[in-house]
Amino acid sequence: MLERNLFLSASAALSPIAEASTYLGNGDERRECLGGMSWEAFVGASFRVMKEGYPLIRSTDNVRMSDSTAFCLKYQLPAEFSHTAPPLAGVYDPAPPGLSSETTIEIDGEKLKIRAVELEKLKEIGRGQYGRVEKMLHRPTQRILAVKLITLLNEHVNRSQIQRELEVGYQTTSPCVLMCYGGLIHDSEVFILMELMDTSLENLRAQVYGANKSIPESLLAYMTQRVVTGLQFLRREKSIIHRDVKPSNMLANRQGLVKVCDFGVSGKLMKSFALSNVGSNRYLAPERINPQTDQAFSILSDVWSLGLSVMELATGELCYADTNSLFQQLDRVVKGDPLRLPTDGRFSEALQDFISRCLMKKESDRADYVQLLESDFLRSVDVAAGQKQLSEFLPQFIDGNAT
């Protein structure tokens, strides 16, 4: 983490600030900063300063700004060689505009006023690169919520990621996409208020196969159909590519519902293509590991990730678990033959064909969401029956109840 020294000049006096954070953006934004931008633009877009005065910046060394990190500013030294910028209109905050320590949300037609200080942490239910998810109790109403907590000083977080997750969840009308009720900000953390589900399909896989059992193929078809329906909704209705499809981002509850979640790295499509390359390593498609120059990534990259996810749920085994390193794993994805289900009689031809159509090395050879929903594996799924089956199957494997 690079350290820089900043002092605030109010009139003629130097007034040191204890700490602030700066973020050089993601992808092209970061390269633009490195390529050169005015101090005014840098100050206005990159870190917090006090409301009035002249921010003065001085580097304690000549280390070039890294394009791979955000960094904290700690203010200790005089700023006699610092560069000045005009006073800013207000304090910069990477949180999306409009967030405060309280908000009004609507759940099942009931409007609830939520204050951050009224939320009681019950337990952590998930953690990732961009934050953690807590099960929380809203004390005045006794409502239980899932709350994603994103620390604004996290070097991997920027405003667009937070805004994207809020917008996608707010706007959803699909029963297959996780609902976001609203957002708060408190003590340098953004609280994203979401509906609470009971488990992820990743945890379900571990519980089921850890108990020497398996997921029935009819149930797998139902869960897959719900996931594909959610992804197709995001693509068709919101022009969004998820870009981080994996079992831990597929949630289920005791009512038998299955929903896609985690839109922090999703992106708007540009003529069905997204230019930035993000996602979890094990599920990356070949073209995302070894892209051509200026290569864009379409929704078919998510189809590859979907195929690996369904394979893991079908077999109980993690894909590429036999590789010794991340490099070896990614090398196999790019240069090796795509994975296929065993042909030992455990899996139907319909499921094998579904996996094969997802895991085609050439992107244009993969099925899209519409074709997958019309495949033999998903076409005949009875949603009501599948929901009932999952509602009966899931409780055996929640909270350590597997026998």
Contacts of 247 (CB under 8 A, 6+ apart): 200, 201, 202, 205, 309, 312, 313
Residue type at 68?
S
Task: Quote the CA–CA distance of 401 and 362 in Å, as a whole number.
Answer: 42
The residue ranges of DSSP E strands in 228-356, in sequence order, are 240-241, 250-252, 258-260, 267-268, 273-274, 297-298
Q: Does 246 count as an annotated binding residue?
A: no
Task: Quote the CA–CA distance of 243 and 292 in Å, as a whole number.
Answer: 18
Task: Quote the CA–CA distance of 72 and 153 in Å, as a whole number.
Answer: 8
- Chain centroid to CA 373: 24
Task: Quote the CA–CA distance of 111 and 265 in Å, as a whole number.
Answer: 29
Residue 326 burial (CB count, 10 A): 11
Residue type at 137?
L
Active site residue 244: yes
Catalytic residue among 244, 294, 365, 368: 244
The residue ranges of DSSP E strands in 129-226, in sequence order, are 131-138, 143-151, 180-186, 189-194, 199-200
- For the annotated binding site, the residues are 148
Q: Among all residues, which ones are annotated catalytic?
A: 244
Please give the annotated binding residues for ATP, written as ranges: 148
